[in-house]
Structure 1
Amino acid sequence: MIVFAWFYLVINSHVLGDRPATVLPTTDTEVGSRDYSYDPEECVMTYKHWTEQNNIIFVANWSPPGIYMSNVSSTLRFEVAMEDVELTAPSALGYDGTISTLYWSDFGKNTIERYSFDTNQHEVFVSNIVYVRNLAVDGAGKKLYWTDYYQNRIEVINLDGTNRRILIDTELNWPNAIEIDTTNGYLYWTDTGFDKIERVKLNDLSTRTALVTTGLGWPSGLVLAVPDGKMYWCDSDKRVIEEANLDGSNRRTIITLPGKSPFRIDIYRNYLYWTEPYGGGIYQVDRTTGISSKQSSDSRLNDPRDLYI
């Protein structure tokens, strides 16, 4: 199956943690060898083209259940990401760009599932879980990490399905967002019970360090910009989006959001995209200026729980 979607404006490349695209282009044509000078309204783009150019955004909506995709454009236009895949309550997303495979957790089925866009194959990857709050895929290292919100632990499994194990299960209280920095070998996560952001060296768990421990209420979303040396998080209780260095220093507020509850966050070029569940939508904020705007009012996305760019 090839998923087609119309779009208005192509915006190219993306820097997020250590995901495959780590070079930020300076112009819209400085990506690979493709020419983007054509009128985009005259063109139909495929999933494969989007992902090769790092232009795709996935969104998981809790109710009604669905996973949608769009080109990251000035106007997001979402299409169903996968046909004939049963979803009950998709809540977390991850993606392995090395093999074009989308991962998600389904709270209604207590599973982690995956879908290959190369082979159009869907499978239940992990079962016997309680509430996977967030996922982090290390395609190069062939591992999947997740936070189990109710069992208060962080688990890991090889992408071939072997060696599932608990990585951390001490001093956790509702672990939430999780991100991996494969360049420097760190795993980061937020803890919404103890109100902190932590990290650990994956080859030495004794290096576990609390980076942010004050001024947090419900740090529900986290994203890394490793080439910039920055991390960003959203706080659903404090109603803010904040920034700090990867070691937690030089913290600053990017935007305060009265009446909003930002839940998940991701990054594309100089913009942070965030979800507002329970009738909200998808929003964008410039991480330099703090100027924000709503990016989607799609009625199918009235309860977005996660997004991945």
Structure 2
Amino acid sequence: MYQGDPGSSNISEPFLLVADRYGEIILQVNITSGSTTTLPLGDVGQPAALDYDPLTDYVYWADDLNDKIHRARRDGSGRETILDITSDNSVFCLALDHAGGDIYWTDEDEHTISVAKMNGSSTRTLLTSSAVRSPYDLVLDPRNGLMYWADNGNDKIYRAAMDGSNPATIITGLSKPRAVTIDYREDRLYYSDGSHMYSSDLLGNDIQQLLYEDGKTVRGIAVDENYVYWSSSWSASPWQGKVGMLSKSNLTKTVLVEGLTYPFGIRLSTAAPPGVTTVNGNRFKITLLPSSLSGRV
């Protein structure tokens, strides 16, 4: 648990959060030892996407089975349903804007990207578009007022302003894009296409292949200063899902967890999110971004 004043938090051990969709659990993975803990969140349904707020210790997840978005602290306290989704089995992406206090999510059936406050209030639709045909992952860049998503239906990576304006295609020619994230230190985009993982600049140029997972689909990506983390699964057989990490310096692969059913989204606790600056190692505090920043809600 965290210690400190209400405006800051301390994380004693770095960890990944992993949504195992068909295993119907959310795991905490120690990135040093690979040890795992199933978070005591109660019935999580089928968690298809998740995010984490280091300031409050809240885990947010989209329950694809019951069409709801929930949140709870890692110890299970404070659990509540913050959003009921009217569509069936359609929310595979969610992302937190920590500085703005907002949660973003996509709806495959409605072809929308929406936003609300982190408690589920003030809901509104930002974008309704054919570019949101079958979104599988969403990442925010509040520094630049932008959001990016991987759309498996259109086989493309898109970006738009965080208010939903100016949607544009930045990467084409894909066959199964499932994951996307940003390395905010290096201004690089990381994304998956089937069994492969790539990186590019934030305009979709300078594409580099980083990983090939033979026979599996890369479904989640997270990144820190030294490593890229991924989740993958093999749809032909259960219990073949795994979580691994890849050295940025030499592309050495290390498997952290095996035997998962169907791992989807992953999130890293110690990667300081946009709008939250790192102070004294693992200590976090809010740094509000300018309200006039182009593209912000």
Calculate the TM-score normalised by the size of structure 2: 0.79
Q: Distance in 2 between matches of 1:93 and 1:119?
A: 15
Out of 178, 182, 185, the position equivalent to 2:142 is 182
Quote how far apart the aligned CAs of 1:117 are. Answer: 4.5
Aligned-partner residue type, residue 105 of structure 1 = A
Q: Distance in 2 between matches of 1:243 and 1:194?
A: 19
Out of 138, 142, 156, the position equivalent to 1:196 is 156
Matched, 1:127 2:84: yes
Equivalent residue number for residue 281 of structure 1: 242
Matched, 1:267 2:223: yes
Q: Distance in 1 between matches of 2:106 and 2:82?
A: 16
Q: Distance in 2 between matches of 1:126 and 1:64?
A: 22
Aligned-partner residue type, residue 134 of structure 2 = W
Quote how far apart the aligned CAs of 1:208 are. Answer: 2.1
Equivalent residue number for residue 67 of structure 2: 110
Pick closer, same or farther for the CA change 1:247–1:276 going to 2, 3 Å.
Answer: same
Decide which moves more: 245-254 or 124-133: 124-133
Q: Distance in 1 between matches of 2:213 and 2:230?
A: 12
Q: Distance in 2 between matches of 1:166 and 1:257?
A: 36
Aligned positions of 1:48-197 closer than 5 A: 52=11, 55-73=14-32, 75-83=33-41, 85-117=42-74, 120-130=77-87, 131-172=90-131, 173-197=133-157
Q: Distance in 1 between matches of 2:126 and 2:167?
A: 12
Segments of 5+ residues of structure 1 without an aligned counterpart are 4-47
Decide which moves more: 110-119 or 63-72: 110-119
Decide which moves more: 216-225 or 96-105: 96-105
Q: Is the 8 A contact 1:179 1:224 kept in 2?
A: yes
Equivalent residue number for residue 26 of structure 1: none
Q: Distance in 2 between matches of 1:175 and 1:306?
A: 13
Out of 224, 227, 231, the position equivalent to 2:182 is 224
Q: Is the 8 A contact 2:181 2:189 kept in 1?
A: yes
Q: Distance in 2 between matches of 1:233 and 1:274?
A: 10
Q: Is the 8 A contact 2:140 2:147 kept in 1?
A: yes
Quote how far apart the aligned CAs of 1:118 are. Answer: 8.3
Aligned positions of 1:25-44 closer than 5 A: none
Q: What is the RMSD of the two structures over their aligned residues, measured on CA atoms?
A: 2.2
Q: Distance in 2 between matches of 1:160 and 1:296?
A: 32
Quote how far apart the aligned CAs of 1:53 are. Answer: 5.1
Aligned-partner residue type, residue 178 of structure 1 = L
Equivalent residue number for residue 209 of structure 1: 168
Equivalent residue number for residue 256 of structure 1: 212
Q: Distance in 2 between matches of 1:114 and 1:128?
A: 14
Quote how far apart the aligned CAs of 1:54 are. Answer: 6.8
Decide which moves more: 258-267 or 107-116: 258-267
Equivalent residue number for residue 272 of structure 2: none
Q: Is the 8 A contact 2:185 2:225 kept in 1?
A: no
Q: Is the 8 A contact 1:235 1:263 kept in 2?
A: no
Q: Secondary structure of 2:185's partner? A: helix
Q: Secondary structure of 1:220's partner? A: coil
Task: Return the structure number with greater helix share.
Answer: 1
Pick closer, same or farther for the CA change 1:54–1:149 going to 2, 3 Å.
Answer: farther
Summarize deviations over 1:235-278 as a string: whole Å, max 9, x none.
12xx2110100111111111223222111111133211111124
Pick closer, same or farther for the CA change 1:226–1:262 going to 2, 3 Å.
Answer: same
Aligned-partner residue type, residue 177 of structure 2 = P
Q: Distance in 2 between matches of 1:67 and 1:117?
A: 10
Quote how far apart the aligned CAs of 1:170 are. Answer: 1.1
Aligned-partner residue type, residue 110 of structure 1 = D
Q: Distance in 2 between matches of 1:113 and 1:266?
A: 21
Segments of 5+ residues of structure 2 without an aligned counterpart are 3-8, 269-297
Q: Which runs of 4+ in 1 moved over 3 A?
A: none
Pick closer, same or farther for the CA change 1:291–1:208 going to 2, 3 Å.
Answer: same
Pick closer, same or farther for the CA change 1:125–1:228 going to 2, 3 Å.
Answer: same
Q: Distance in 2 between matches of 1:266 and 1:129?
A: 29
Q: Is the 8 A contact 2:40 2:75 kept in 1?
A: no
Matched, 1:296 2:267: no
Calculate the TM-score normalised by the size of structure 1: 0.76
